[in-house]
Chain A
Amino acid sequence: MISCEQLSKSYPMGHGQKRVFTNLNLQVAPGQRVGLLGRNGAGKTTLIKLIGGVEMPTSGRVRREMSVSWPLGFGGGFQGSLTGYDNARFIARIYGNEYDQIREFVEEFSELGSQLKMPVKTYSSGMRARLAFALSLTIEFACYLIDEVIMVGDADFHRKCHYELFEKRGDRALILASHSPDLIRAFCDSALVLHQGQGMMYSDVNEALEVYSAL
């Protein structure tokens, strides 16, 4: 179970504060697949960062009673100056996993071949997405946090993610931020719509998508 209790986050803006959201409550049960919907700047990425513990809330708290992945996105979690292999080594070391096992899976899942010997900063966004997914799937988490990044992949990549996340890990929870109705429909069983600092939870994805498109 992940619970966000009375979560507020604001960033300094000039002399004032920009409030991203106030007193947001959210509960994610094991195995639940939540889509995050909201217009640009509504706070999807911020919410994912707070749940992932990358940034701290201004007030309120996040309780994680299951293991939560780091937020999978374009930038964070990688070191651009290091190669794909070095990033894999780093992940293996900090999570206490076997590097050989991780390398094998990363090579197979990402299909990046010799590109893995190049610094990550030379990768396209699609290649980053492949590496990010490959790395996080080698560590077994009970909940995966995915920020947009899945969108940039090609059809083959979507199929692979679907296989790894649904068929092999059908019992895992998922929080997925995306603008793509198709992806939300395909991956999620409920959705949170973020708008003007408030969050509304819908157990019907189609209803959430209708509310979202009317915003």
Chain B
Amino acid sequence: MTVSRLASGWRIQRRVISALMIRELVTRFGRENIGFLWMMAEPLLFASLVGIMWRYMHGPEEHGVSITAFIATGYIPLTLFRQSVTRATKIFSVNGSLLYHRQVKILDFIFVRFFIEVIGAMMAFVFIAMILGVLNEFPVPANIGALIGGWFLYCMFVFSLCLVLAPLSELSDVLEKLMPVTVYISIPFCGTFTMVSWLAPQFQQFMLYSPFISPMELIRYGVFGDRVHAIWDVTVPISVTMVLMVIGLTLCRRIRRRLVVE
């Protein structure tokens, strides 16, 4: 009986999530011109423009790899992090009217918005790699497993962060106001512009405590292979992600009981 209830619950959630995805895409991007392809526009523009900027400021190569490709691989995960976290704030009150339908759960909101950002980022990543590849600025990925594993760990960490921030932003308005500056301050700890091995030895150990760093190193290793010296320790992102998920799910459950729906 519980198994069949689980199965029907899963079916309903799949239906709800796909309906919410379509709704989110239609409200955000509309049906005109390129439609939902806009979701990769932002990461794509950021990565290519910042890449070009660095290309002219620092020359074509740094530490033996193409600087444009290096910035592109770092900037797309960064926009994923920034966008997902921003979109997670106040997500329950913004979507409140959907809670009139009992099968719609608050976790669906977080998942759907995050998932759209992930798809956008992935599409942008593949797109930019192909364009730069044609221009001979982007190598054929050296280790697909490391690339996918790095992306996976990065995404899971960002998702667990959203799970915590979404309910917290409903509890306190201060959080929403502090968010942009906090994200900005955290950029040096995201591994966007550097590799751990480029840093002074006394900072290296310290940097590995940031959950962004190991996934980022894995992504870089997956793309550039042995041309970069990657250092990672996956226990940090995995354990931080698991702790945040437990906290986030508990908070979401608590918040749902108190949520005032207009």
Which residues of A line the B interface, CB within 8 A?
11, 49, 52-56, 70-71, 75-79, 81-82, 86, 89-91, 93-96
The CA-CA distance from A191 to B103 in the complex, in Å, is: 29
Residues of B within 8 A of A49 (CB): 261
Which residues of B line the A interface, CB within 8 A?
12, 15-16, 18-19, 22-23, 26-27, 96-104, 256-262
The CA-CA distance from A79 to B100 in the complex, in Å, is: 11
Among B18, B100, B257, chain A packs the most CB atoms within 10 A around the CB of B100
Residues of A within 8 A of B256 (CB): 56
Residues of A within 8 A of B259 (CB): 55-56
Residues of B within 8 A of A95 (CB): 101, 103
B262 touches A94 (CB 8 A): no
6 nearest A-B residue pairs (beta carbon)? A93-B19, A77-B100, A76-B100, A70-B100, A53-B102, A56-B257
B19 touches A90 (CB 8 A): yes
Which of B15, B22, B104, B260 makes the CB contact (< 8 A) with A11? B260
B102 touches A70 (CB 8 A): yes
Residues of B within 8 A of A53 (CB): 102
- Given A49-B261, A56-B256, are A94 and B26 also a contact pair (CB < 8 Å)? no
Nearest opposing residue in chain A for B16, CB measure: A94
Whole-angstrom distance from the CB of A121 to the nearest CB of chain B? 11
Residues of B within 8 A of A81 (CB): 27
Whole-angstrom distance from the CB of B92 to the nearest CB of chain A? 12
- Given A76-B262, A96-B15, are A52 and B27 also a contact pair (CB < 8 Å)? no
Whole-angstrom distance from the CB of B11 to the nearest CB of chain A? 8
The CA-CA distance from A49 to B261 in the complex, in Å, is: 9
Residues of B within 8 A of A52 (CB): 100, 102
B15 touches A54 (CB 8 A): no
Whole-angstrom distance from the CB of B27 to the nearest CB of chain A? 6
Dominant secondary structure at the A interface: loop
Nearest opposing residue in chain B for A73, CB measure: B100
The CA-CA distance from A53 to B23 in the complex, in Å, is: 22
A93 touches B18 (CB 8 A): yes
The CA-CA distance from A81 to B102 in the complex, in Å, is: 21
Whole-angstrom distance from the CB of A139 to the nearest CB of chain B? 10
Nearest opposing residue in chain A for B257, CB measure: A56
The CA-CA distance from A76 to B102 in the complex, in Å, is: 12
Residues of A within 8 A of B96 (CB): 76
Residues of B within 8 A of A86 (CB): 23, 26
The CA-CA distance from A86 to B101 in the complex, in Å, is: 16
Residues of B within 8 A of A54 (CB): 99-100, 102, 261
Nearest opposing residue in chain B for A76, CB measure: B100
The CA-CA distance from A78 to B260 in the complex, in Å, is: 17
The CA-CA distance from A55 to B92 in the complex, in Å, is: 12
B15 touches A93 (CB 8 A): yes
Whole-angstrom distance from the CB of A132 to the nearest CB of chain B? 10
Residues of A within 8 A of B258 (CB): 56
B23 touches A90 (CB 8 A): yes
Among B102, B104, B257, B258, chain A packs the most CB atoms within 10 A around the CB of B102
Nearest opposing residue in chain B for A49, CB measure: B261
Nearest opposing residue in chain B for A92, CB measure: B19
- The 24 listed contacts between A and B (C-beta, < 8 Å) are A53-B102, A54-B99, A56-B258, A56-B259, A70-B101, A70-B102, A71-B100, A76-B97, A76-B99, A77-B101, A79-B98, A81-B27, A82-B27, A86-B23, A86-B26, A90-B22, A90-B23, A93-B19, A94-B15, A94-B16, A94-B103, A94-B104, A95-B103, A96-B15
